Amino acid sequence: MKYEWIDEYLMNKPGVIRDLQREWNWIRYKLGSKMFAAVCRDDNTNEPYYITMKLEPMQAEALRSEYEDIIPGYYMNKVNWNSVKADGNVPDDLLKNMLDDAYAIVLESFSKKKQAEILASEPIIIDTRCGLHCYNCEYKQPCNCGGCIETNGHPFHGECPIAICCQEKRHMHCGECSTFPCELLLQYTNDPEQGDNPPGLRIEQCKRWCERSIK
Q: For residue 197, what is the enclosing H or E element?
A: none
- Spatial separation of the C-alpha atoms in residues 158 and 1, rounded to whole Å: 25
The answer to whether the beta carbons of residues 181 and 203 sit under 8 Å apart is yes
> In the prediction, which pLDDT does 214 show?
46
> Residues of 93-105 as b/e, b for ≥16 C-beta within 10 angstroms?
eebeebbebbbeb
Which are the contacts of 48, defined by CB distance < 8 A and separation ≥ 6?
1, 39, 40, 41, 42, 86
Q: Which of 123, 132, 137 is nearest to 198 (CA)?
A: 132
- Spatial separation of the C-alpha atoms in residues 170 and 20, rounded to whole Å: 9
Q: For residue 18, what is the enclosing H or E element?
A: strand 16-21
* Torsion angle, alpha carbons of 183, 189, 192, 195, to 10: 140
> In the prediction, which pLDDT does 215 show?
46
CA distances from 72 to 97, 102, 147 (A): 17, 14, 31
* pLDDT tens, the chain, 215 aa long: 788 888 889 988 988 888 777 788 888 899 888 999 999 988 888 788 899 999 998 888 889 889 989 988 888 888 889 999 999 889 999 999 999 999 999 999 999 998 998 888 766 666 788 887 776 666 665 666 767 877 788 888 888 898 899 888 878 788 888 888 888 888 877 766 666 667 777 888 788 777 655 44
> In the prediction, which pLDDT does 73 show?
83
Structural domains in the chain?
6-120 (3.90.1150.30), 147-212 (no CATH)
> In the prediction, which pLDDT does 209 show?
72
